[in-house]
Amino acid sequence: MRAALEQFYTQKRFRGKGPLSIALVVTEAAKSQSLPLNQDDFLAASGGQVRGAGKAAVQTILARHDIERVLSQEAGRTSRGSILNMREYVNFLNTQHALGVAIDWEEVEAFWVGKVRDFFAGAPFKLTVDASQSVRAIVRGLTAQAIKRQKDMPGVMFLGTMMQHLVGAKLQVILGIETVSHHCSNQNDTDASRTGDFDLGDVTIHVTSSPTESLLRKCADNLSDDLRPIIVTTGKGVTTAEVLAENIGIADRVDIIDFDQFIATNIHEHSQFVRSARRSRIEELIACYNTIIDSVETDPSLKIAVSSSR
């Protein structure tokens, strides 16, 4: 059974916190049901969520295995692919049953708990400080890793999360810890009574890897509230945001900034353009970023490890 689980885990890419949460809660619910399982029995009454999927349910299961760390604030309950993940997993269990495999639920649970432990022990992103490279190239090396990991684990927005918290770290280094509020990347800013990812004075900052019309309309709302919106996005995102801003008539009222330049410029300015100081400023930024990840996110693999290229 373990070999089949391992194959399913790999082929269906059940590596993120959302899929792992779904696997845990479905396994728990399946223990009290007869095989073959009915997929619809795992849906909430609304039909739009997986029944019982939530932070408390997942943490109760993990607590039995002496794991106290939070796997996910949402636990796959509202993620776009949670129902698909549930159906894939139930189909897998039914297939094993049809093949005559005796399913030991304790063994299955132990398998997924082991994958959660692997998740918590996941390797961080790596930032190599190479004096021969531009600061912008160093930053791009980080975002390239986030894009690759995003492709390997569809549905998890590594790039957007990294960008948000690097911007937050930059702001905190400049303005101080008491000035900047940080939030989990899954936390909708409107739900938290915020106007953007960061609200500072009369400025609201939106950080995104993929600007949308909805975001630009939110910027229009900011302007109506006498706030000054800033969008920090990727190089490609700058072009997209500019077109969208033009379409809704706010092109000359919103600042749209390339993320790589936003971070690189700060490092140069903060190091006072002194070569010997750049590395320490980069390390200061990453240390601040890692502290933010510890405080608001549940995935430690979002952290960044700094190394040198000699």
Please report, for residues 17, 25, 135, 157, 310, the alpha-carbon distance to residue 54 in angstroms, rounded to integers and kept in the order given.
12, 9, 41, 20, 47
* Rounded Cα–Cα distance for residues 54 and 115 (Å): 18
Kindly provide the residue ranges of all beta strands, DSSP E only, lying in the chain, ordered along the sequence. 125-129, 198-200, 203-207, 228-233, 255-258, 304-308
Boundary-marking domain end, from 120, 153, 179: 120
pLDDT (tens digit per residue) in 190-217: 454 678 899 999 999 999 999 999 999 9
Question: Where do we find the tokens 């106007």?
Answer: 195
Burial of 234 (0-12, 13-18, 19+ CB in 10 A): buried
Does residue 309 surpass a pLDDT of 70? no
pLDDT (tens digit per residue) in 264-276: 998 999 898 888 8
**Are residues 73 and 215 both part of a single domain?**
no
pLDDT (tens digit per residue) in 9-53: 988 888 888 899 999 999 999 999 999 999 999 998 877 889 888
Instruction: State the Cα angle at 42 between 14 and 82, rounded to 5°.
Output: 35
Helix (H, G, I), strand (E, B), or coil: what is residue 223? helix
**Are residues 67 and 131 both part of a single domain?**
no
Amino acid identity, residue 134?
S
Domain that holds residue 83: 2-120
**Are residues 214 and 78 both part of a single domain?**
no
* Rounded Cα–Cα distance for residues 263 and 246 (Å): 26
**Are residues 113 and 257 both part of a single domain?**
no
Boundary-marking domain end, from 68, 88, 120: 120
Please report, for residues 87, 157, 220, 271, 283, the alpha-carbon distance to residue 277 in angstroms, rounded to integers and kept in the order given.
53, 32, 40, 5, 10
Boundary-marking domain end, from 80, 104, 120: 120
Helix (H, G, I), strand (E, B), or coil: what is residue 205? strand
**Are residues 145 and 171 both part of a single domain?**
yes
Name the domain count of the chain: 2
DSSP 124: P
**Are residues 98 and 166 both part of a single domain?**
no
pLDDT category of residue 129 using cuts at 50, 70 and 90? confident
* Rounded Cα–Cα distance for residues 36 and 96 (Å): 9
**Are residues 51 and 29 both part of a single domain?**
yes
Average pLDDT for 252-259: 97
Does residue 106 surpass a pLDDT of 70? yes
**Are residues 225 and 157 both part of a single domain?**
yes
**Are residues 115 and 129 both part of a single domain?**
no
**Are residues 152 and 245 both part of a single domain?**
yes
Helix (H, G, I), strand (E, B), or coil: what is residue 162? helix
Instruction: State the Cα angle at 87 between 42 and 37, rounded to 5°.
Output: 55
Rounded to the nearest 5°, which phi and psi values hold at 229?
A: -80, 140
**Are residues 84 and 139 both part of a single domain?**
no
**Are residues 61 and 158 both part of a single domain?**
no
